[in-house]
Structure 1
Amino acid sequence: MSVPATLNSYLQNKSCAYDTLSHTFSSTASEAALLSAVPMKQMVKAVVVHDHNHYMLAAVPAMNKVMLPQLEQITGCRTVLAKESEIKRIFGDCETGAVPALGQAYGLDVIWDDALNEDEDLYIEAGDHRSLIHLKREQFQALMKNHRHGQISCAPEELYDLTHY
């Protein structure tokens, strides 16, 4: 599968040149990073949440978990994880479970983790289970310039209760 039309059109409209990286089938962003020999902190995982009124996407390093209390502090609303069936409706031209971390291409508000400022190269799911989109940090920041950000994730061992996903 190539980059979905929705995502490709969005990136072209933003004049964002990108390249893709192919890998064998993966079922998670973390696995895609491992199969592609991409450092886990450079792989951007997409977590779709909602506040019962609208959907949002949290973009975080693949090795981290989203901290819902911190996300709620930034958004000002209580959020819950979206179900797979809800995600499939939003990302209709993507394979199930291969959500690109550029939710704005699909009309979602995006909140991104400040840890994504640390590396020169970032990778996101390309909408299938066999390819990644490679962006430079400056490209990613330009795409995220109008979106909220903060420290919204942490390493799994730092989780202190079950409100983190």
Structure 2
Amino acid sequence: MHAAIHEFTVERLEGGSQSLGDYAGQVLLIVNTASQCGFTPQYQGLEALYQRYRERGLVVLGFPCNQFGAQEPGAAAEIASFCQKNYGVSFPMFAKVEVNGDHAHPLYQYLKKAAPGLLGSEGIKWNFTKFLVNRQGEVTGRYAPATAPEAMTTDIEELL
């Protein structure tokens, strides 16, 4: 039995679609990203987590989003080039999505309901909001944009 998260299909940054069911049995760290944000250097920490734990089953999934301060204006190729060139990002990156509002991607509608923010609010506050998902596909945590990726190692290790 797969959790609902494994039923979603998302568009890859380089084109084509990807079923999240392909990641069943792995720990997922799902992040809405942006290239021109004060938190953009977190790409480095996210890549470090991916490199450190991917052999044990962690996959970081990046979802560029332009809804906060228009900090991800680029097209897919620009985003991919930026992430690779500036941060050596090797974890999977997906097509730009909306995370809030009427056009929010169904994956983000699900994540926000599964792990509400402070005071039960569902809205994503800013770029680099992070969701941690266990091997069974259950959302186990939501982390604020200011939470550094390395601050999540204890929670990640518990799931691995």
TM-score > 0.5 by shorter chain: no
The structure with the largest strand share of the pair is 1
Question: How does the TM-score come out when normalised to structure 2?
Answer: 0.26
Question: How does the TM-score come out when normalised to structure 1?
Answer: 0.26
